[in-house]
Amino acid sequence: MPHKITLTGSATGPLREYDRYVSFDMREKGSPSAPKGLKKSTFISYTVFVAKKAFNKTGLTKKSIMHEKILIQGEPTLDIPIDECPGEVGVICFQITVLPNKNDKEKNQPEEKKEPKQEASASSEAPKNTEPTKQEKAQAPVSQSAAKEEKKEVQSIQPEVQQSPREEKKAEEKKKTLSNQPKGTQDLLNFDDIIVPEAFLKTRPNPEKTQKVIDFVKRTGRLDEPLTIEKGSNVLKDGYRRYVVAKTVKMDKVPVVYEYQKS
């Protein structure tokens, strides 16, 4: 059985192009502590070889590969000539994945958090307007006409009537979008908000099954099943293959079903 190897990081050298493949250099830091009596390794350099078709699907370029964080899954090789493999270890890449950028997540989060605050402030203003009417009623003399009291009641009800159609429209729009998603979908989540555990990143989804899901998405415009996400933390609990497919086809939002944290 060939040895499997997983690397994460960015390219440390320029992209080199050949007839059917490209190559670039990466490096990873050794273990922080070595067994007693053995020297501690510092950095190990790798030269990664990727088929051009697989590399082009990632959308990476000669410039972006130096800045994007990528995941490489493959096996070590000793059959590459030394002049093509300057790294200490050559790696034949079976799968290459561009990992989400933390800076992009931080930029998107404040904008999303601002919207609910604005809605909350608008809804909190509505009940404040009703309080003066109650005080006026208490201060008003008993001899006031019934017509004035009816007008005040209508004015206090109007904000609620204006808000309800908006809420109904939002609910209807959400139902329509979810109806176009796979069965069991509870919500649509921004792809960049999903956090993938290291254990998933070290695995390699079956290429044939992954291709079937990609073909399904191209045919229907949606995933075949929702991803299972932990409520609150947005950590991926199940559906790593569909996550990889969503990344490959560049989906902005993905269908999810929530799994609540155990107390």
Taking only the tens place, the pLDDT of each residue in 114-142 is 455 455 444 444 445 555 555 555 454 44
Q: What is the pLDDT of residues 25-66, one digit of tens each?
A: 998 877 777 788 888 777 888 999 999 999 999 989 888 888
Structure tokens at 239: 């559906």
Q: What is the pLDDT of residue 100?
A: 85
Strands 70-77 and 89-98 come out as antiparallel
pLDDT in tens, 63-118: 888 889 999 999 998 888 888 888 888 999 999 999 887 665 555 555 555 455 45
Contacts of 200 (CB under 8 A, 6+ apart): 236, 240, 243
User: Does CATH place domain 5-29+41-99 in 1.10.10.1100?
Assistant: no
d(CA 81, CA 83): 6
Q: Under a CB-based contact definition with an 8 Å cutoff, are residues 91 and 75 in contact?
A: yes
For the chain, give the percent of residues with pLDDT over 90: 26
pLDDT tens digits, one per residue of 253-262: 999 999 887 6
Intrachain domains 5-29+41-99 and 187-259 with the same fold: no
Q: What is the pLDDT of residue 143?
A: 47
Do 25 and 47 meet the contact criterion of CB atoms below 8 Å apart? Answer: yes
Distance in angstroms (rounded) separating the CA atoms of residues 260 and 230: 6
As beta bridge partners, residue 115 has none
CB burial of residue 152 (10 Å; 0-12, 13-18, 19+): middle
187-259: CATH number: 3.90.1530.10
Give residue 162's pLDDT band: very low, low, confident or very high (50, 70, 90).
low
Per domain, the residue ranges of the chain are: 5-29+41-99, 103-176, 187-259
The secondary element (H helix, E strand) that includes residue 158 is helix 146-179
Strands 16-17 and 21-29: antiparallel
Q: 125: which residues sit within 8 A by CB, 6+ positions away? A: none
3-state helix, strand, coil split of the chain in percent (to 5) is 45, 25, 35
What is the model's pLDDT at position 147?
56
